[in-house]
């Protein structure tokens, strides 16, 4: 590699020493801004400044050196002040060595690039082309875009939060090259992430399996990144987590012994009632499908007392209700029983928002468009322990054999 003077070295780092021109931005200023925008994108994606170190990819290490250089330039602080919302330039340089004091080989070693004796004038050496390592790093950052159909996924994230709170799911530290499948949930970069789609797997140049993912985030954005990029992000994120599949857990026990477990939990009630209600609401959709729309709930008290003020409660659609079925069970776990019904009939949950007495929109959770006889069969299968082997098929309006979906 030919010797680089100071100007060429800084230019390679994204800081060009061009003379200032009158009027508009100078080429130097434009290059400083462009270089800092790359650093900001990295910060937004990873919620941290780029770091030095052999264990980090070349793209991040290049940004770390560039950031250190920018922090030393007074003109950069003034030029980038409005852009620097996270105050990245206010921190002290983090590089272990002063780039100004490194020769070309030492600097390239710091960036993880071996010295190349090739003549820079050789026409076989490509110029102004992003290196493979840089392109791969950019792929891992994967710019997020707004999710246009987020309303389809939002109920999944809402249910996920409930299941974590109720202990039905657990957050498990992500281990290295662990699998990533469609339908999996993760926590990465402090955000819930759902694998909505997984493309056909292929082999990388290192003969490792990979696939294109459609990843939906809990904040309403999405990205199309590679499976191995997600695995790497989860591994490097100290708080990266895989969310376990829901566990039915102990539902209830009978006089003949436990059916789903015998561990007492805070929501266990000695004698409980699963109740099914039908609404007398005059809402057009409810009126048209009244015999198919049911609320499924669980209580340890009297159902009649619970629904006495139904017409004033949004959870009952602000209308009187009638009890169409009750099932008495012993040692019932209220929370986990309700989660069973939500998982079983989640695909036909009533999508209806009404205003409460304060004018605030409320979306009742426990109403489902499902025939009463199917609910009755579901309760019987809960009693005999076979419910986890069945799913609800909305097309045929019946329970069919198959493992219960998460």
Determine the pLDDT at residue 385. 77
Closest CA to 31 of 57, 51, 12, 50: 12
**pLDDT tens profile 341-383:** 888 998 898 888 877 667 777 778 789 999 999 999 998 888 7
Find, among 6, 391, 343, 363, the residue nearest to 169 by Cα: 343
Lowest mean pLDDT among 43-47, 362-366, 393-397: 362-366
Strand locations in 237-375, DSSP E?
A: 241-243, 253-254, 257-258, 268-279, 293-299, 321-333, 354-355, 361-362, 367-369
Work out the burial of residue 124: count CB atoms within 10 Å of its CB; fewer than 13 is exposed, 13-18 middle, 19 or more buried.
exposed
pLDDT of residue 296: 93
- Per-residue pLDDT at 228: 87
Q: What is the pLDDT of residue 140?
A: 44
Contacts (Cβ under 8 Å, ≥6 apart) of 203: 209, 210
For the chain, what is the mean pLDDT? 75
Q: What is the mean pLDDT of residues 107-136?
A: 42
Q: Is a pLDDT exceeding 80 seen at residue 12?
A: no
Q: What letter does residue 347 receive in the DSSP assignment? A: G
Other Cβ atoms within 10 Å of 26 Cβ, number: 15
Q: Are 103 and 76 in contact (CB under 8 A)?
A: no
The crossing angle, in degrees rounded to 10, of helices 58-71 and 132-141 is 90
The percentage of residues in the chain with a pLDDT greater than 70, rounded to a whole number, is 71
Percentages of the chain per state (helix, strand, coil), in multiples of 5: 35, 20, 45
**Domain edges within the chain:** 6-140, 142-243, 253-401
7: pLDDT confidence band, cut at 50, 70 and 90? low
Average pLDDT, stretch 276-305? 90
The total number of residues shown for the chain amounts to 406
SS3 140: helix
Record the pTM: 0.39
Range with lowest mean pLDDT among 84-93, 126-135, 312-321, 367-376: 126-135
Per residue in 162-203, pLDDT (tens digit) is 878 877 788 888 876 577 888 889 998 888 999 999 888 887
């Amino acid at each position: 590699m030919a010797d680089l003077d100071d100007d060429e070295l800084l230019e390679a780092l994204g800081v060009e020493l061009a003379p200032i021109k009158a009027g508009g931005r100078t080429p130097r200023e434009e290059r400083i801004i462009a270089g800092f925008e790359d650093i900001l994108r990295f910060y937004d994606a990873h919620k941290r400044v780029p770091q030095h170190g052999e264990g980090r990819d070349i793209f991040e290490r290049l940004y770390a050196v560039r950031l250190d250089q920018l922090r030393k330039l007074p003109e950069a602080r003034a030029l980038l002040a409005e852009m620097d919302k996270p105050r990245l330039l206010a921190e002290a340089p983090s590089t272990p060595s002063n780039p100004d004091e490194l020769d070309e080989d030492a600097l390239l070693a710091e960036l993880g690039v071996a010295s190349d004796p090739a003549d820079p004038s050789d026409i076989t050496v490509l110029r102004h082309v992003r290196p493979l390592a840089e392109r791969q790093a950019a792929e891992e950052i994967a710019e997020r875009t707004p999710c246009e159909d987020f309303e389809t996924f939002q109920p999944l994230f809402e249910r996920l939060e409930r299941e974590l709170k109720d202990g039905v799911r657990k957050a498990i530290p992500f281990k290295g090259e662990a699998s990533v499948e469609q339908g999996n949930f993760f926590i990465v970069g402090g955000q819930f992430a759902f694998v909505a789609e997984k493309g056909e797997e292929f082999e990388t140049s290192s003969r490792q399996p990979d696939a294109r993912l459609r990843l939906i985030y809990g904040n309403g954005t999405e990205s199309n990144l590679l499976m191995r990029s997600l695995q790497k992000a989860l591994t490097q994120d100290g708080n990266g987590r895989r969310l376990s599949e829901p566990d039915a857990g102990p539902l209830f026990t009978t006089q003949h012994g436990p059916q789903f477990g015998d561990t007492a939990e805070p929501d266990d009630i000695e004698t409980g009632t699963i109740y099914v209600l039908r609404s007398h609401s005059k809402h057009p959709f409810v009126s048209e499908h009244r015999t198919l729309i049911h609320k499924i709930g669980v209580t340890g008290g009297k159902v009649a007392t619970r629904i006495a003020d139904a017409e004033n409660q949004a959870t009952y659609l602000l209308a009187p209700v009638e009890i169409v079925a009750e099932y008495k069970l012993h040692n019932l776990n209220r929370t986990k029983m309700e989660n069973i019904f939500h998982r079983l009939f989640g695909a036909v949950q009533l999508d209806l928002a009404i205003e409460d007495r304060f004018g605030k929109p409320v979306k009742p959770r426990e109403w489902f468009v499902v025939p009463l006889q199917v609910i009755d069969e579901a309760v019987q299968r809960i009693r005999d322990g076979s419910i986890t082997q069945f799913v609800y098929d909305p097309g045929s309006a019946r329970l069919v054999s198959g493992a219960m979906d998460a």
